[in-house]
Amino acid sequence: MKKLLVSGSAGFVGYHLVKALVEEKFNIIGIDNLNDYYDVNLKIARLERLQDYQNFKFEKIDLVDKEKLFQLFEKEKFDYVINLAAQAGVRYSIENPYAYLDSNIIGFLNLLEACRKYPIDHLIYASSSSVYGSNLKQPFSESDNVDHPVSLYAATKKSNELMAHTYSNLYNIPTTGLRFFTVYGPWGRPDMAYFSFTRNIFENRLIKVFNNGNLERDFTYIQDIIEGIKKLIQTPPKENPDWDRVIADPATSNAPYQIFNIGNNKPIKLLDFINILEKEIGIEAKKEFLPMQQGDVYSTYADISSLNNYCGFNPITSIEEGLKNFVSWYKEFYKK
């Protein structure tokens, strides 16, 4: 059995990924620091659902703890590493910038160093659509310039991509960065808009609709994301012999390095999204229309042709089906 490390395994994407991989007989070690950025009980509930799998083991480790991380790598001798551990949240990065430097920069550096010292076959790590910042050209392509982030969170994710390339180049570590586009679904993150909308609608409270609802997001259902990651694990990038140093496409390299968008490729207007959510819940939301908030972007739209060509990634879940599944889970978990 191939041995795989999933960092952030108590998180939203991490939980779903671990569940999918243990069912396919991978041997999974999950780590997480179980921080209180959002409800720790939700993280613990996710982990409890994974404990019955004999090929899953969890250890509470923070990526910032270099000594514990290196001990784990020395002991387990991983074949693959998937890094989903990070301090998330665009707006929180404006309020608490230092939290992002520790987790997203120092923690990622420690992980890269561990992969260098204890060689692996492939490192996959979470980047974000937020790296596109104030770009207006759409759909967003991995070959676009992303040098104008509008939040510190986005800047740390761009930094992760640069750091990964450096280690791919210096130490021949195959690395794949995935720019996630607004992932949603059951067991999701309470800080995400769709989750807080649902909670507030059920509790008869106002939902905050920023930029008066004139926003678009490329909402991507969690199981589509998981299928994409699964396809990539055992197909690490190789050096691109056609990489042109003059044009210098940032999505690939003459090192074993690759960046992919992983999204739905079908952006939806925020107000349309809310309307679908209201229908699934069966309650009309009380809306508070507000101006654009700092660090936010008007629209996200993923060009996924590169990932499709590479491994056949093809998201299939409609927004109606995805929200139906989320609301069903929410009602059951929170006894609504």
List, in order, residues 6 or more apart from 145 with CB less than 8 Å away.
Answer: 135, 250
Residue 265: CB atoms within 10 Å: 19
Residue 155 three-state SS: helix
CB 179 within 8 Å of CB 129: yes
Provide the 8-state DSSP code for 192.
Answer: S
For residue 191, give Cα distances in angstroms to 37, 87, 90, 182, 242: 9, 12, 10, 12, 42
List, in order, residues 6 or more apart from 275 with CB less than 8 Å away.
Answer: none
CA distance 154 to 219: 18
Active site residue 80: no
Say if residue 139 is preceded by a cis peptide, omega within 30 of 0: yes
- Catalytic hit among 153, 167, 184, 301: 153
Q: Which helix (H) or strand (E) holds 73?
A: helix 66-76
**Angle between helices 107-117 and 152-171 in degrees, nearest 10:** 10
Q: Which helix (H) or strand (E) holds 130?
A: none
Q: Which two tokens stand for residue 183?
A: 């992932």
Distance of CA 292 to the CA centre of its chain: 24
User: Using CA atoms in the order 112, 114, 116, 117, what is the torsion angle rounded to 10 degrees?
Assistant: 160
Residue 208 three-state SS: strand
Residue 81 three-state SS: strand
Q: What angle do CA 331, 333, 336 make, to 5 degrees?
A: 35
State the catalytic residues. 153
